[in-house]
Every structure is written in structure tokens, then in C-alpha cells.
Amino acid sequence: MRATIHHLRWLWCNARAMAILSDPPLGFVSLPDAARRLGVARGSLNHLVREGRLAAERVGPHWYVDPVVLDAFAQTYRPSNRRRTVRPVNESREQVARLLADWQEATADELAIGVGLHPGNVRKHLVILEAAGVAERDDQAYWRLTEEGRRQYKEAAKAS
């Protein structure tokens, strides 16, 4: 019982100390608020702080920015308009099916290299193709097109 009381007292004291330490410095702006002001994602602002492009001060577990520094940074900062190119899902799935037709059989990891996707995403496509009756997997984790899948692939090849 004594150890439990001591443990609870220790937890209470440390929680109280963390609460005191994590109070924001007077007038400083938290990173989530700074991100909203700049119109960027919180993760982007974290990246800028880690790179040293934006000066921030850590208090306890949180980071804060001086409003003067934030305003000066906002004057010169231009967020990148670069966006990830997202491939349409159906296009990726068709590419997986095409490779299966060409290669006769393959593992998800082999297909991932051929398609240029993460193996987990290729597995998702394969499960969807399996549910549609187009692909099947054997006991050694090799995937191949079913008879129906080969028929559909031949029809699609003739149409294009």
C-alpha cells in the first residue's frame, strides 16, 4: 500500500510540474495556431521548425513561436503548391491485372516493383480482383488470373 501511495504522489507532483512547464510563454503562439495563421498544415510547420527555417521555443512537450518572428516569417514564406500526384485507383488495379496477364503468375512484392506501388496497396488491389473473380492466389502466395480474368483481359486487349 505504501508503494502505491508514493507512486500516486509522484505522479501527481510530476503531472503538476508538467502543467506548469507547459504553460505557454506570455504572448507566444502555439504551433497549431501559427499553422492556421500561415495557412499550412501543422506537419508542415513542424518540418519548418525542425529544419531551423522558423525559430520556435520548446516549453515542456509543446512548441511556441514569438509573434514577431512569425509575422516576419509570414512576410517571406510562400507555401509550395507542389501536390502529390495521385494515380486513379482503377488505373493501378488494371496495371496489376495486366502484369499478371503478362507474367502468368507473381507475388504481391514482385507486382509492387512492376507497378511502382507499395506492396500493401498491391495486396489490396489483388484482394479486390480476387473478390471480382478475376485473380486467385495459390498456397505459395503466387497470384494469377482466373479463366474469367484471362477472358476479360483478352477482350480488353482486342477493344484497344
Cα 148 to chain centroid distance, Å, stands at 35
Residue 37: inside a domain, yes or no?
yes
Is the pLDDT at 1 greater than 50, yes or no?
no
Q: Can you give the residue range of the structural domain that contains 134?
A: 89-159
Percent of the chain exceeding pLDDT 70 equals 79
3-class secondary structure, 143: strand
Of 80, 112, 144, which closes a domain?
80
Mean pLDDT, residues 59-63 taken together: 85
User: pLDDT category, 13, cuts 50, 70, 90?
Assistant: low
3-class secondary structure, 79: coil
Residue 59: inside a domain, yes or no?
yes
Is the pLDDT at 29 greater than 80, yes or no?
yes
Is the pLDDT at 16 greater than 70, yes or no?
no
- Is the same domain home to 61 and 121? no
Comparison of pLDDT for 8 and 55, the residue scoring more: 55
- Is the same domain home to 67 and 116? no
Q: Which residues, at least 6 apart from 119, have a Cβ–Cβ distance to it below 8 Å?
A: 108, 109, 112
Q: What is the pLDDT of residue 72?
A: 92
- Is the same domain home to 34 and 70? yes
- Is the same domain home to 97 and 135? yes
How many Å apart are CA 48 and CA 102, to the nearest integer?
Answer: 46
How many Å apart are CA 125 and CA 121, to the nearest integer?
Answer: 6
Is the pLDDT at 26 greater than 70, yes or no?
yes
The helix-helix angle for 147-159 and 89-103 (nearest 10°) equals: 110
Question: How wide is the angle at C-alpha 105 spanned by C-alphas 102 and 106, nearest 5°?
Answer: 105
Is the pLDDT at 49 greater than 70, yes or no?
yes
Q: What is the pLDDT of residues 99-130, one digit of tens each?
A: 999 999 999 999 999 999 999 999 999 999 99
Is the pLDDT at 60 greater than 50, yes or no?
yes
How many Å apart are CA 78 and CA 89, to the nearest integer?
Answer: 32
